[in-house]
Amino acid sequence: MRFTRRRLNRTLLLRQHLLTRVDRTPAQMVEHLVGLQAQESMPPYLSLAARLTDFDPLVVSTALEQRTMARILSLRDTVHLHLPADALTLPVWAAPVRDRELRMSQTIGTAREVDQERFAAAVRTVLADGPLPQRTLSAGLAEHFPAYTPAQLGQVARVMQVLVQLPPRGCWKPEASTAVAYDFAERWLGAPLGTPDVPDLVRRYLRAFGPATAADVTTWSGITRLVPVLKAMDDLVRHEGPDGKPLYDVEGAPVAEEDTPAPVRLLGTYDNVWLSHAGRDRVTEPERRNTWMGVSGAQSNALFADGWLEGLWKVVDGRVVVGEVLRPLSKRERAELDEEVARVEALLAR
């Protein structure tokens, strides 16, 4: 099949459950999406609210407290909200991404030169009695490596070790600023680290984000040299993209029609739909993305209309404030926006 850009847009939104909300649990959606980017606390909740027919944010908070979900550095060297099985395997697979950060981070600086075996032993010693706040962990490591600052050593620990961010970080307290505390993922989740089945992981990606190129899978994960992996998967089907390049897909995965309606959705700053393809033109024009992107990251939440980025919004005192709208909305779209604003404000009031 040859995909036009519009068919790719609609198919992505279909597989992301952004065309029609679905009756699933938060855990089922987190698993389907292979995690939710979560370096900020609010976006995962907005992502789930945009996709689920009935969403109680306290379910996610409870899952974090009961250790059936976890916040951990994984794909793209970014904190994600995962189920335990992914929290224990994806960071191991993504270790090369963290290695790149270790080599390149200005924050870490010369602390990257620490002996890794000695450092790992020091982290085990400092965390021997249980989880610690980041500042306490960093100060404890500075006693072992006095040549470096606690801040540097805390960043090295975050990158070198597989550590879970503990609740209440990430819980449903949008007005609260909670300090980060860490524990070993194995201890917190009660199971050993492992490695994922990479072909199965690629299939999961395609079910949620496909069809896609090997470059798309690399953008989503941060892992390079995936062309041989996809080429060796003889169960995948191939489509043709708008540029004539091959797109890989899972056999039987749903494909949307070009004229499928795409309702207004209010998405968070770092929703998965933004960050999982080499070409983000599936959901926006380059100049529109520049409107959303600031110097140091996303500067606002995204308003989608008819499947594309068409505006920005933010939360002020528990209310949705729609800022710049990049084109006039139709009467139907304005009505849909009103419905979405009411949904998000009801969520914020919980």
pLDDT band for 296, please (50, 70, 90 cuts).
very low
Q: Residue 319 pairs with which residues in a beta bridge?
A: 316
pTM: 0.94
pLDDT for residue 177 is more than 80: no
| More confident call, 10 vs 326 | 10
The number of residues in the chain equals 350
pLDDT for residue 307 is more than 80: yes
Per-residue pLDDT at 269: 87
pLDDT for residue 151 is more than 70: yes
Per-residue pLDDT at 196: 96
DSSP string over 234-247: TTEEEEE-TTS-EE
What's at 260, amino acid-wise?
Answer: T
**14-33 pLDDT, tens per residue?**
999 999 999 999 999 999 99
Alpha-carbon distances, residue 77 vs 93, 160, 222, 287 (angstroms):
11, 11, 7, 26
pLDDT band for 274, please (50, 70, 90 cuts).
confident
Q: Mean pLDDT over residues 99-128, rounded? A: 92
Nearest partner of 82 among 40, 16, 32, judged by Cα: 32
Mean pLDDT, the chain, integer: 93
**186-245 pLDDT, tens per residue?**
999 999 999 999 999 999 999 999 999 999 999 999 999 999 999 999 999 999 999 998
pLDDT for residue 295 is more than 80: no
Q: Mean pLDDT over residues 37-52, rounded? A: 95
CB contact set of 134 (below 8 Å; sequence gap of 6+): 154, 179, 180, 181, 182
